[in-house]
Amino acid sequence: MKNSAKAIVVKIMVTVLIISMACAFSACKKRSKVPTKEEFLKEHINDSDPHGVKKLDFNREDLIKAWGEPDADKSRGSSYVWKCGDKFIIVGAAPDDPNKIEEMYVSFTQELVYLFSNASIIYVSARQDGVTDYHNCIMVEEMYFDKETLASLEIGTILEIEFDGYFLETYPGQLSNLYSVKATGKVDESEMPALQEQEKYIREKYTGEQ
């Protein structure tokens, strides 16, 4: 009887162990491997909805182990940012749990055209596919520009920025988060009269200058 009871106990323990191992194996299989930054960029850089939530089953701690610490000077609030080549990968964390990932997406490249500066604010117009939208004015804080770029600014300077793709609903408009900016050239002289008119309008309307 004693041997029989022991055999039953052993069978139960073995069964429990097998079930536990199976569950652990299943959980490991279900949990995906964190992709490299390059893999993530390649997969999502051409998304039709780049700000759409990516269905991920790893958290911020997993990312840090795989990618290293985020770029501290580029991170904002509950978002964390990693640089990958000329692009940035933005990770949005849940407000109530900084380790829980709510979304991941890739930054946008956008061209702007410099108009003028006033009180540490840079005023620019949007530019898309080589065409400047003279009526679309955007304010950018001077803090995002390095000294060399600031020194090179003159009306018509083309600026290439990398940002999260969001514009705040104000006028003049504002960028939600700007990650990098560099001067890449200057518009054709034929565009200058329209830019000068836009500069005059914005100065008088929004800065009080005459």
CA distance 124 to 144: 13
pTM, two decimals, is: 0.77
CATH topology of domain 108-207: OB fold (Dihydrolipoamide Acetyltransferase, E2P) (2.40.50)
Which DSSP helix (H) or strand (E) runs through 38? helix 37-44
Domain ranges of the chain: 37-106, 108-207
Banded pLDDT at 101 (limits 50, 70, 90): confident
Q: Among candidates 115, 6, 103, 24, which has minimal Cα distance to 59?
A: 103
Phi, psi of 183, deg, nearest 5 = -80, 135
Torsion-angle region of 104 (φ positive above 0: left; ψ -120 to 50: alpha; else: beta): beta
- Tell me which of 97 and 199 has the higher pLDDT: 199
Residue 123 pLDDT greater than 70, yes or no: yes
Banded pLDDT at 210 (limits 50, 70, 90): low
- Tell me which of 155 and 129 has the higher pLDDT: 155
**pLDDT at residue 144, rounded to an integer:** 92
Residue 153 pLDDT greater than 90, yes or no: yes
Mean of the per-residue pLDDT values for the chain?
82
